[in-house]
Amino acid sequence: MIPTIPMEMLRIIIFTVAIILFVSVNALLLVWLERKLAGHFQVRPGPFEVGPHGLLQTVCDGLKLMGKQLVAPAGADKRLFWAAPILAFAPAFLCFLPIPFGPHLLGMDFETGVILILAFTSLGVLATILAGWGSNNKFSLLGASRAVSQAVAYEVPLLITVLGVVMYSGSLDFTSIIGQQGSWPWQWNVMLQPLGFLIFFVCSLAECNRAPFDLPEAESELTAGFHTEYSGMGFGLFFFAEYTNMVITSSMCTALFLGGWHGPFFSGWWWFASKVYFLIFVMMWMRWTFPRVRFDQLLNLSWKWLIPLALINLFYVAVLVKL
Amino acid sequence: MTFFEEIRQAFKGIYSLLVGLNITGKALVTKVETVHYPRQTVDNIDTYHGHIELIPTDTTPHFTKCIACGTCAHNCPAQCITVTKAELPPEIGEDGKPQKPKKAKYPELFKLDYNHCSLCGQCVENCPVSALRFSTDVYLAGFSREDFEYDLLARAKQNIEDKE
pLDDT band at B15 (very low <50, low <70, confident <90, very high): very high
Question: Which of A51, A212, A211, A241 is CA-nearest to residue A130?
Answer: A241
| Domain locations in chain A as residue ranges | 73-322
Q: Name the minimum distance, in Å, from the CA of B28 to any CA of chain A.
A: 4
- pLDDT value for A46: 84
| Domain locations in chain B as residue ranges | 1-30, 52-163
- pLDDT value for B60: 65
The whole model's pTM is what?
Answer: 0.78
Contact A43 B23 (CB under 8 A): no
- pLDDT value for A91: 83
pLDDT tens readout for residues B105-150: 788 888 888 888 888 888 888 888 888 888 888 888 889 888 888 8
Contact A41 B27 (CB under 8 A): yes
- pLDDT value for B62: 66
What does each of the 323 residues of chain A score in pLDDT, given as a tens digit? 567 777 778 877 888 888 888 888 888 889 899 999 988 888 888 888 887 888 888 888 888 888 888 888 888 888 888 888 888 888 887 888 888 887 777 767 777 888 888 888 888 788 888 888 888 888 888 888 888 888 888 888 998 999 888 888 888 888 888 888 877 777 787 778 888 899 999 988 888 888 788 877 777 777 777 788 888 888 888 888 888 888 888 988 888 888 878 878 777 788 888 889 999 999 999 988 988 888 888 888 888 888 999 999 999 888 988 88
What's the CA gap between A273 and A250, in Å, rounded? 10
pLDDT band at B59 (very low <50, low <70, confident <90, very high): low
What does each C-alpha distance from A266 to A133, A180, A184, B54 come to in angstroms?
Answer: 50, 17, 11, 72
Q: Name the minimum distance, in Å, from the CA of B39 to any CA of chain A.
A: 11
Chain A CA closest to residue B26: A41
Which residues of chain B lie closer than 8 angstroms to A285, CB-CB? 21, 24-25, 28
Spatial contact of A170 and A109, defined as CB atoms under 8 Å apart: no
- pLDDT value for B90: 72
Spatial contact of A195 and A313, defined as CB atoms under 8 Å apart: yes
What's the CA gap between B72 and B79, in Å, rounded? 9
Q: Which of A40, A199, A287 to mutate to test the interface with B (most CBs of B within 10 A)?
A: A40
Which residues of chain B lie closer than 8 angstroms to A42, CB-CB? 27
> To the nearest whole number, what is the mean pLDDT of chain B?
83
CB-CB neighbours of B39 under 10 Å: 7
Asked if the peptide bond before residue A212 counts as cis, ω within 30 degrees of 0, the response is yes
Spatial contact of B115 and B28, defined as CB atoms under 8 Å apart: no
Report CA Rg, chain B.
27
The secondary structure of residue B92, as a DSSP letter, is B
Question: Which of A133, A98, A99, A81 is CA-nearest to residue A238?
Answer: A81
Question: Which of A132, A41, A142, A128 is CA-nearest to residue A91?
Answer: A128
Considering CB atoms only, which of B17, B20, B32 is closest to A44? B32
Considering CB atoms only, which of B17, B30, B36 is closest to A43? B30
Spatial contact of B66 and B131, defined as CB atoms under 8 Å apart: yes
What's the CA gap between B158 and A192, in Å, rounded? 76
Spatial contact of A245 and A27, defined as CB atoms under 8 Å apart: no
Which residues of chain B lie closer than 8 angstroms to A288, CB-CB? 24
Domain covering B52-163, topology? Alpha-Beta Plaits (3.30.70)
What's the CA gap between A320 and B28, in Å, rounded? 40
The answer to whether A44 faces chain B, any CB pair under 8 Å, is: yes
Which residues of chain B lie closer than 8 angstroms to A53, CB-CB? none
Contact B24 A41 (CB under 8 A): yes
CB–CB contacts below 8 A, A to B: 36
Cβ-Cβ contacts under 8 Å for A323 (sequence gap 6 or more): none
Chain A CA closest to residue B16: A290
The answer to whether A138 faces chain B, any CB pair under 8 Å, is: no
Which residues of chain A lie closer than 8 angstroms to B32, CB-CB? 39-40, 43-45
